[in-house]
């Protein structure tokens, strides 16, 4: 069996990352890894500190490792991942103007096969965890992610449009990765 392909879905909040992961996992009959920050903040509240972001980052890596091991055990070809250490890096720097060295080290050592960068063209959906309803902040964050994507080596695709268009663009990017 081929090595597990890991596909990360990243972007600002309320850009359809979790929805896209779930859709792609269902379509390709595989697993997806949820965003650890969501469960952490729901359990502990949204008044987080810089040090909480390190705890969240470590929880995300642990969740990802468990999901990858399960996907391998279940003979899945790939895993969709909602959020990675780039997201943690951006979150730390955007909110606190600094980043934990552990997160920066993880950015360097963790390897992925494809990134799907979700654009801000979906309407913002309010929930108890979201912090940036204004399009200016969301677009600024998107541009930070896009700059990261341009300056790293893993293939990536910009995902925009309505939910169906996003799903179609993401499928094309995944199929291209698979050589289909």
Predicted confidence (pLDDT) per residue in 71-123, tens digit: 999 999 999 999 999 999 999 999 999 999 999 999 999 999 999 999 999 87
Tell me what pLDDT residue 3 has: 87
How far is Cα 62 from Cα 3, in angstroms, rounded to an integer?
19
What is the side-by-side order of every strand in the sheet holding 114-118? 31-33, 78-82, 5-10, 114-118, 156-159
The predicted-structure confidence for 33-71, as pLDDT tens digits, reads as follows 999 998 998 899 888 999 999 999 999 999 999 999 999
Structural domains of the chain, ranges and CATH numbers in brackets: 5-178 (3.40.50.300)
**Structure confidence by residue, pLDDT tens digits, 111-160:** 999 999 999 998 766 655 555 566 788 899 999 999 999 999 999 999 99
Place of tokens 């490792």: 65
């Amino acid at each position: 069996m081929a090595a597990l392909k890991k596909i990360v879905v990243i972007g600002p909040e309320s850009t359809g990352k979790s929805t896209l992961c779930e859709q792609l996992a269902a379509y390709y009959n595989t697993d997806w890894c949820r965003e650890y920050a969501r469960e952490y903040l729901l359990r502990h509240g949204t008044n987080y500190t810089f040090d909480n972001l390190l705890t969240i980052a470590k929880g995300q890596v642990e969740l990802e490792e468990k999901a990858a091991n399960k996907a391998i055990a279940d003979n899945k070809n790939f895993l969709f991942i909602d959020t990675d250490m780039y997201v943690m890096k951006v979150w730390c720097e955007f909110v606190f103007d600094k980043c934990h060295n552990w997160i920066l080290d993880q950015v360097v050592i963790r390897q992925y096969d494809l990134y799907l960068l979700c654009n801000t063209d979906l309407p913002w959906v309010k929930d108890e965890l979201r912090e940036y309803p204004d399009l200016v902040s969301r677009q600024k964050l998107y541009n930070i992610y896009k700059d990261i994507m341009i300056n790293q080596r893993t293939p990536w695709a910009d995902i925009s449009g309505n939910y169906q268009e996003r799903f179609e663009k993401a499928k094309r990017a995944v199929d291209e990765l698979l050589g289909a």
